[in-house]
Structure formats: C-alpha cells, structure tokens
C-alpha cells in the first residue's frame, strides 16, 4: 500500500535498479497502473536471462517482450547448464537481435557453436547503438574459416568500442586472420587468446584507435623486428609467458603507456633490473601493478636468495619516488622453491593460499596494504597448520570473496583471512579422506548468499551430502574429473539426495547417475528443479560413430518427459545430457 502511494516519477526511478525479468515478475499484472508504467512509460530495460526458468522464460517471451523489445538497452543470453539452448528458443519466438533496435550492450555466455555466434553477430550490424559486446565462457568448435568470419563480422560493427572475447580455446590464428579495419574499438579484452608479437602487430594494424588492451603473450621469437609503435594505447593488462627480450620489444611498441598491470611466468627479475627496463622503455608509466611467478635456483641457499631479491625492491626508486611496494612469498614444492612477488596493494582478482616458507614485504605496516580488496576468487590449499608458515603471521584480509575453492580439512587459520563470507556465491570443495562434516557445515552457515556448491572428492562422500543444510544453495554439482565408479549415484543415493534439504531447495543439478531411470527419480522428487545435467553410466552414444539424430538416450528422455521440457546433448561435453525443465503436464513421471 505504501509503495503504491509513491509518485510515478519515483517509481520509474526505482525500476531502474531492477532487471527486466524481476520487474515483470514483481509488478506486471498487479493493476492497470503498474501495467501502464511497465509497458508504456519505463524505458531503459536490462534483461539478464542467465538463470531464468523455462516457465518464466516462456512468460516473458509471450507477454512482455512484444511490449517493450524496442526499449531494451542491455541483453545477456547464455547456453549453459542453467539455460540450455536459450538463444535459439528466444529467436524461435521471432525475437532476432535486429529487433532490439535500442540495444547498447550484448553479452553472450557459453555459446560454443561458431555458426550460431556468426548468425547473431551478423544481426548486430543492424543495431545502431551497440557499443559493448561480450563473448564469455565459450569453447572453440569452429573451422579456421569460421573464426575468420566471426572476427571480421565483429570488427565490422561500426559503433563498437568495448569488446571482450573470453574464449579459452581460441588460438593465435584468430588475430592473424582479421582483414576488416575497426576505427571504433578502443577497449579490447582478449586475455585468454594467446598472441605473439607478430599477431599483435596485425591486431594493431586493424584496430588503430585502441586505448586499452588486455591480452596474453605466450612464447615468441626473440629477434622479431618491431616496425611500428602504437601511440594510442595508454593502458595494458598482460599475462606474459615468454622471455625478457620479447617483453622489452613489446614495451617499445607502446611508448605512451601510462598504466601497466602485468602477470609473468618463469621470469626472475630483481628490482634493479625492473627499474632499468621501466626507465628505458616506459618513460610515461605512472601505474605499475606486478605479479611475478618464478622458481628460485635450487642449488643456492633459499634464505640468502630471498633476502637478496627483496632488498633490490627497497631502493628510493621503489619506495620514495613511486611508492611501489612489494611482497614476496616462497612456496616449497618438493625439492624446489617457487616464488611469487607482487605489488601492494594486491591488484589482481584471484589469489591462491599455499603453505608458505618465507614471506617478506617492503610496505609500511599499515592495514590498507593487507586488505586484498580486488580479490573475488580465492583458492585455499593449506591443509595443516605449518608453524613456519609466515603468511599466517601477516594481517592479510580478503573482504570481497565471491568464489572460493578450498581443500578439506583445512586449518582454522582460514577464518583469520576472511572477515566475512557475506558475498560468497560459489563454493568448490576438495574433500580428502579426513573430511569433517561439521567443518563444511560451519563454512556454509557463515555464507548467507551462497548459491552454488560443487564437490570434488577422492573417496565416496555421497553418504554425507544428505546431512548438509543451507537456506541459500540452489545449484549442486557432483560431476568431477574423477572417473571412478563411485562417482555415479545409484537409485538409493539419488533418492537420498532428492529428499535431503539441499535436494528439496535445489534448482540446478549437475550429476553422474548409474542409469536413466535416475533422471525420473530426481525430477519427480525435486520439485524446485529447473535444470538438470546428467552423465549416465550406461549411455552408449559415441560421437565418432553416431549422429545426433540417432541419440537413443535423448529420444528415450523425450518420450518419458513432458513435451514442454527441452532435452539435448551438450555439443562440447558430449557425455552430458542437458534438460531444461518446463511446465509439468502431469504431476509425476513413471519409470520405464
């Protein structure tokens, strides 16, 4: 009642904080006033379809999109475990991308088919306001010609100035095959596409106005000639796995670099050598963020090497002139000692906690340097309290963790690093043989926003799953890289999981099962389930000898489940069957 007393102008301001799906689910159909506000007066719609149920998706397509499709400015589509084949379903309703005439930002997740991507991108050419394009978490299934066509179609988009392509399996050939010039792209994120200097030069030739670049360099011929300089680039984020001479030649290409965020592998440089490189080749650099991973020479005394290295970063160039403080950690791996040296405050979004032999720093002893605020993904692989673990003695804090991978059992020092788990969304746990149920339950209890739980295990942990409780977890994953028979759930284990507290609340389930009837057990009992991904032990389909049109298991599932369900085999992980659950025609499904 109080909410309805607000003026229309204030309600419209409030609506801007909502995703379009939540807006229509919350307010559409309440009364004529709200219907008019949504269908006529509200303009900047943003739709994120990544975690929608099939029922709600159909409702949005039937009742909402026809009213407001020309006012949508941001769209996120996925073809992952939660919404399998969603883009094709959207287009089958007639909502092809060229109909979203006000679209400014498009994000495409987990679309592995290059043909499908190309079809979408071609439509984008008719969107006059599209400035941001994100291709995320996909895998490369295409021929070389498909890759070239995709990149040329993207570079042909006239208004595009922010482009992110996070496709892990794409190779160097992608960049070398670009043949269309883009004068509009200024910000390019391709951190999972490995480059060499030759490919980078080709990229610069066809993207001459680039200002920001996030990429990776893997290996290179050290004596390559550098014929051009790219004066437009002022900010570079780089993952680098090559030699120091190649790195220097790369810096020579970018004389106006103002900001450099750099991760290196197998490069061992003292503070004095870094100083020489920065003064000689990056004279305009003001922001320098570094994470240098290396191996200490094992024939020398580790303590002496460590002390000598850290002292080279205590000069006036580092401390007084730039206030570029560093920390260095030594991590023992068998007979070898690895080192990680990084600038403070820590600038990267991921961090791995290992048992640390030595840890020293050059910064003042102030708490601001120990709050690793940029880290949202943490791996904690410290299985026991090590009395010589120097990292435990530092007041490091990770206040913004959203994704956590942790080995069980873990030492209780973990909680000293984490002031709060209120932002934690996904949890991956590696269960060892000494796994303690209560330690996991305590961790879950401290995570009120935890959405996803994924288990990796080296022994049969399924018996313990039914003991775990949570008010927030909605996604469960039991598919691991493990190929042992015990990884498959049998009838009784599926029933126990389905009736457990986690099972009754679960909306997305990824699981290995012993036989096809387990699918019917899970769907019958788990009433909140909207998406199910299964790997069936008795599945005989073989992509080398069988076409998708002759998929016996998929056909059996289609006959056994309502026609409102979408059932398909994953085109990349072909042993996985993906079921997007629609409306139930009958209350239950009988086992066959």
**48: Cα within 13 Å, side-chain hemisphere:** 7
Comparing 352 with 486, the larger pLDDT belongs to: 352
3-state secondary structure labels for all residues of 234-275:
CEEEEEEECCHHHHHHHHHCCCCCCEEEEEEECCCCCHHHHH
**Inside any domain, residue 528:** yes
Is the model's pLDDT at 110 over the cut of 70? yes
The band of 220, judged by pLDDT with boundaries at 50, 70 and 90, is low
Q: Is residue 3 assigned to a domain? A: no
What is the pTM for the complete model shown? 0.90
| Whether pLDDT at 382 is above 90 | no
How do the residues of the chain divide into helix, strand and coil, expressed in percent and rounded to 5?
30, 25, 45
Distances, alpha carbon 384 to alpha carbons 299, 404, 409, 411, in Å: 28, 18, 8, 5
Each residue's pLDDT tens digit, 405-429:
998 888 878 898 999 999 999 999 9
Q: What is the pLDDT of residue 462?
A: 54
What's residue 175's pLDDT? 81
Is a pLDDT exceeding 60 seen at residue 383?
A: no
Mean pLDDT computed over 5-28: 90
The pLDDT of residue 285 is 97
* Separation between Cα atoms, residue 106 and residue 17, nearest integer Å: 18
* Average pLDDT score over residue span 381-401: 70
- Convert the pLDDT of each residue in 316-368 to its tens digit: 999 999 999 999 998 887 778 889 999 999 999 999 988 777 888 999 877 78
pLDDT of residue 459: 56
Beta bridge partners of 75: 47, 106
Task: Work out the pLDDT band at 41, boundaries 50, 70, 90.
Answer: confident
Question: What residue numbers bound the domain in which 530 lies?
Answer: 447-542+549-582
Q: Is 477 helix (H, G, I), strand (E, B) or coil?
A: strand
Contact (CB, 8 A) for 151 and 181: no
User: Would the pLDDT of 242 be above 50?
Assistant: yes
What is the structure's pLDDT at 588? 40
CA dihedral 577, 583, 589, 592 (to 10 degrees): -40
Look at residue 142 in the predicted model and tell me its pLDDT: 54
Residue 385 scores a pLDDT above 50: no
Does 111 reside within a domain?
Answer: no
458 within some domain: yes
Question: Is residue 577 one of the residues assigned to a domain?
Answer: yes
pLDDT of residue 303: 85
pLDDT of residue 171: 55
User: pLDDT at position 129, please?
Assistant: 97
Of the chain, the percentage scoring pLDDT greater than 70 comes to 89
Number of domains in the chain: 1
Instruction: Tell me, rounded to whole angstroms, the distance of Cα 54 from its chain centroid.
Output: 23
The mean per-residue pLDDT over the stretch 62-83 comes to 95
pLDDT value, residue 544: 63
Q: What is the pLDDT of residues 425-447, one digit of tens each?
A: 999 998 777 777 889 999 999 99
pLDDT given at position 472: 97
Q: Is residue 452 part of a domain?
A: yes
Work out the percent of the chain whose per-residue pLDDT is above 90.
Answer: 61
Do residues 302 and 330 touch, judged by C-beta distance below 8 A? yes
Q: Model confidence at 252, in pLDDT bands (50, 70, 90)? A: very high
User: Could you tell me which of 287, 295, 307, 289 has the C-alpha nearest to residue 266?
Assistant: 295
Q: Three-state DSSP class for 314?
A: coil
Mean pLDDT over 549-572 rounds to: 91
pLDDT tier at 573 (50, 70, 90 boundaries)?
confident
Separation between Cα atoms, residue 457 and residue 455, nearest integer Å = 6
Query: Looking at the domain assignment, is residue 471 inside a domain?
Result: yes
489 occurs within a structural domain: yes
CA distance 415 to 406: 12
Backbone angles phi, psi at 170, to 5 degrees: -70, 145
What distance in Å separates the CA atoms of residue 22 and residue 27, rounded to the nearest whole number? 8
């Amino acid at each position: 009642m109080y909410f309805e007393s607000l003026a229309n102008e204030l309600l419209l301001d409030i609506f801007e904080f909502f995703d379009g799906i939540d807006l229509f689910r919350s307010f559409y159909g309440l009364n004529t006033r709200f219907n008019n506000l949504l269908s006529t007066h509200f303009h900047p719609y943003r739709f994120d379809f990544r975690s929608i149920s099939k029922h709600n998706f159909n409702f949005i397509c039937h009742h909402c999109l026809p009213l407001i499709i020309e006012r949508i400015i941001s769209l996120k589509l996925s073809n992952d475990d939660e919404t399998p084949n969603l883009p094709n379903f959207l287009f089958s309703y007639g909502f092809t991308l060229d109909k979203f005439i006000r679209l400014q930002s498009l994000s495409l997740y987990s679309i592995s088919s290059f043909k499908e991507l190309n079809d979408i991108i071609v439509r984008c050419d008719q969107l006059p306001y599209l400035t941001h394009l994100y291709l995320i978490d996909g895998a490369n299934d295409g021929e070389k010609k498909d890759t070239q066509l995709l990149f040329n179609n993207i570079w042909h988009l006239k208004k595009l100035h922010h482009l992110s392509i996070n496709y892990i399996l794409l190779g160097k050939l992608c960049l070398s095959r670009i043949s269309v010039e883009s004068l509009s792209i200024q910000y390019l994120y391709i951190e999972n596409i490995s480059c060499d200097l030759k490919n980078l030069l080709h990229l610069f030739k066809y993207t001459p106005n680039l200002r920001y670049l996030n990429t990776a360099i893997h290996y290179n011929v050290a004596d390559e000639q550098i014929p051009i300089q790219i004066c437009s680039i002022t900010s570079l984020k780089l993952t680098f796995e090559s030699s120091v001479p190649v790195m220097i030649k790369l810096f020579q290409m970018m004389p106006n670099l103002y900001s450099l965020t750099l991760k290196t592998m197998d490069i061992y440089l003292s503070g004095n050598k870094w100083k020489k490189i920065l003064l000689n080749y990056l004279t305009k650099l003001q922001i320098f963020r570094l994470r240098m991973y290396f191996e200490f020479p094992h024939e020398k005394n580790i303590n002496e090497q460590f002390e000598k290295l850290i002292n080279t970063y205590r000069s006036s160039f580092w401390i007084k002139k730039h206030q570029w403080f560093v920390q260095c950690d030594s991590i023992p791996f068998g007979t070898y000692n690895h080192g990680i040296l990084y600038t403070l405050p820590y600038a990267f979004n991921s961090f791995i906690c290992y048992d640390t032999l030595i840890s020293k720093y050059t910064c003042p002893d102030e708490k601001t340097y120990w709050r690793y605020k940029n880290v949202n993904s943490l791996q904690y692989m410290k299985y026991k309290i090590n009395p010589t673990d120097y990292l435990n003695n530092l007041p490091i804090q990770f206040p913004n963790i959203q994704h956590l991978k942790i080995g069980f059992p873990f030492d209780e020092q973990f909680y000293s690093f984490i002031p709060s788990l209120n932002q934690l969304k996904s949890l991956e746990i590696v269960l060892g043989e000494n796994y303690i149920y209560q330690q996991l339950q305590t961790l879950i209890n401290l995570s009120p926003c935890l959405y996803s739980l994924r288990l990796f295990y080296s022994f049969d942990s399924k018996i313990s799953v039914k003991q775990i409780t949570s008010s927030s977890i909605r996604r469960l994953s039991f598919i691991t890289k493990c190929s042992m028979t015990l990884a498959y759930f049998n009838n009784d284990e599926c029933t126990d999981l389905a009736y457990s507290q986690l099972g009754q609340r679960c909306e997305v389930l990824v699981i290995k099962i012993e036989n096809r009837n387990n699918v019917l057990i899970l769907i019958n009992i788990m009433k909140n389930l909207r998406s199910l991904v299964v790997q069936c032990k008795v599945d005989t389909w073989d992509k080398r000898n069988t076409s998708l049109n002759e998929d016996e298991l998929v056909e059996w599932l289609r006959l056994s489940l309502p026609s409102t369900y979408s059932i398909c085999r994953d085109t990349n992980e072909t042993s996985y069957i993906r079921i997007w659950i629609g409306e139930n025609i009958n209350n239950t499904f009988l086992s066959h």
